[in-house]
Amino acid sequence: MLGAIVGDVIGSVHEWAGTKTKDFPLFVPHSTFTDDSVLTVAIADWILTGGDLVDFLHSYTCTYPGRGYGGFYHRWASAGAREPYNSFGNGAAMRVSPVGFAFESMDDVLAWSKRSAEVTHNHPEGIKGAQATAAAIYLARTTRDKSRIKKAVESRFGYDVSASLDEIRPTYCFNETCQGTVPQALIAFFESTSYEDAIRNAISLGGDADTLGCITGGIAEAYYGGVPKELAEPVLRMLDERLIAVVNRFRGRFGLA
């Protein structure tokens, strides 16, 4: 899940920028964590602690305001709502990475990723986006086989991941839906040669950069066996004690330290 946070931070300054190149500095003075990281940590805390996920989401959103939350989600959290709002936004996929690392069977990964999504994103596409992302992470860390991961997301979830980044990049633009983000994030991972290369691929599409970086980053961390120290350390220094404590507990419990 640290890979998702690092991808979010690197992508944070590229959201709305329409970056269409892999040649960019990884960190700049304005690099920061966004709602993607906050809610990823909320999911990790929920898995570690148990309890009501809605309470976790409300608490983290209240503690970390102004982090770029989507409009529907922000209204839901601000109102203290407890019912889902039938969203198919990519927020379901961007926060799910801890599920892919925490469970040891595909059945559990699919069940918990559905639970993590449906408290807000109970539209079938929102649930599918979360499940596909978590399943890709699970397979990446357990098989290290890109062809198997690709076959699974195509056959189980019906995503078309046949296009290349070069084919996608010229016309791709900002898209907040799962169906317009998860396949592209997966392709960015499939074409990568390293964790860093995967993040550069994702951001170079010029879309919802922090979320693309977050989704791709979680999968790449699982596949490449971690996040390079030179990328992880500056990001960890950006997090406060509460976020770092959960990240460290999660990584320690699930053998990611």
Q: Are residues 227 and 2 in contact, defined by beta-carbon separation less than 8 angstroms?
A: yes
CATH architecture, range 2-253: Orthogonal Bundle (1.10)
Question: How far apart are the C-alpha atoms of 182 and 78, rounded to whole Å?
Answer: 27
Q: Supply φ then ψ for residue 220, to 5 degrees.
A: -65, -40
Tens of each residue's pLDDT in the chain, 257 residues: 999 999 999 999 999 999 999 999 999 999 999 999 999 999 999 999 999 999 999 999 999 999 999 999 999 999 999 999 999 999 999 999 999 999 999 999 999 999 999 999 999 999 999 999 999 999 999 999 999 999 999 999 999 999 999 999 999 999 999 999 999 999 999 999 999 999 999 999 999 999 999 999 999 999 999 999 999 999 999 999 999 999 999 999 998 76
What residue ranges do the domains of the chain occupy? 2-253
Residue 44, token pair as written in the block: 């990790």
Amino acid found at 203: I
Q: Are residues 8 and 37 in contact, defined by beta-carbon separation less than 8 angstroms?
A: yes
Amino acid found at 104: E
